[in-house]
Amino acid sequence: MTGYVRNDTANTIANGNVIDADALDGEFNAIETAFNASTGHNHDGSAANGAPITKIGPTQDVVASATILYPRITNTVSLGTASLKFKDAHFDGIVYTDDITLNGTAITATAAELNTLDGITASTAELNIMDGVTATASEINVLDGITASTTELNYVDGVTSAIQTQLDNKQPLDADLTAISALAKADGNIIVGDGTTWVAESGATARASLGVTIGTDVQAWDANLDQIAALTPTDNNFIVGNGTAWTAETPASALESLGVTATAAELNTLDGITASVAELNVLDGIPATLTATELGYVDGVTSSIQTQIEQATPAGAVAMFARNTAPTGWLKANGATVSRTTYAALFAAIGTTFGAGDGSTTFKLPDLRGEFPRGWDDGRGVDTSRTFGSAQLDQMQRLTGSFRSHGDSGAPVAGVFTKTTNVVSSTWGDGTGDTDTVSFDSADSPNARTSSTTSGETRARNVALLFCIKY
Query: How far, rounded to the nearest angstrom, does the alpha carbon of residue 313 sit from its chain's CA centroid?
Result: 44
Three-state SS at 173: coil
| Phi, psi angle pair for 26, to nearest 5° | -65, -35
Extract the residue ranges of the chain whose pLDDT is less than 50.
425-426, 428, 430, 452-453
* Burial class, 257, CB count within 10 angstroms (exposed 0-12 / middle 13-18 / buried 19+): middle
Report how far residue 96's alpha carbon sits from residue 111's, in angstroms, rounded to the nearest whole number: 11
The DSSP secondary-structure symbol of 321 reads E
The pLDDT, as a whole number, for residue 345 is: 95
The pLDDT, as a whole number, for residue 358 is: 97
The pLDDT, as a whole number, for residue 437 is: 65
The DSSP secondary-structure symbol of 367 reads B
Q: Which residues are within 8 A (CB) of 466 and not within 5 positions of it... i.e. 6 or more apart? A: 320, 321, 322, 323, 324, 325, 326, 332
Report how far residue 169's alpha carbon sits from residue 163's, in angstroms, rounded to the nearest whole number: 10
Length of the chain: 471
User: Within a 10 A sphere around the Cβ of 330, how many other Cβ atoms?
Assistant: 19
In Å, what is the CA distance from 410 to each residue of 277, 428, 433, 436? Answer: 98, 15, 11, 10
The pLDDT, as a whole number, for residue 214 is: 77
The pLDDT, as a whole number, for residue 445 is: 57
Report how far residue 150's alpha carbon sits from residue 117's, in angstroms, rounded to the nearest whole number: 12
Three-state SS at 416: coil
Beta bridge partners of 191: 200
The pLDDT, as a whole number, for residue 164 is: 79
The pLDDT, as a whole number, for residue 270 is: 74
Whole-model pTM: value is 0.35
316 neighbors 470 (Cβ within 8 angstroms): yes
Q: Tell me whether strands 417-428 and 362-364 are parallel, antiparallel or unpaired.
A: unpaired
Domain spans of the chain, in order of start = 111-168, 175-210
203 neighbors 188 (Cβ within 8 angstroms): yes
417 neighbors 440 (Cβ within 8 angstroms): yes
Report how far residue 36's alpha carbon sits from residue 4's, in angstroms, rounded to the nearest whole number: 10
| pLDDT tens digits, one per residue of 290-342 | 777 877 777 777 777 777 776 778 999 999 999 999 999 999 999 999 999 99
The pLDDT, as a whole number, for residue 172 is: 78
CA 90-95-99 angle, 5° bins: 115
The pLDDT, as a whole number, for residue 360 is: 96
Beta bridge partners of 427: 432
The pLDDT, as a whole number, for residue 332 is: 98
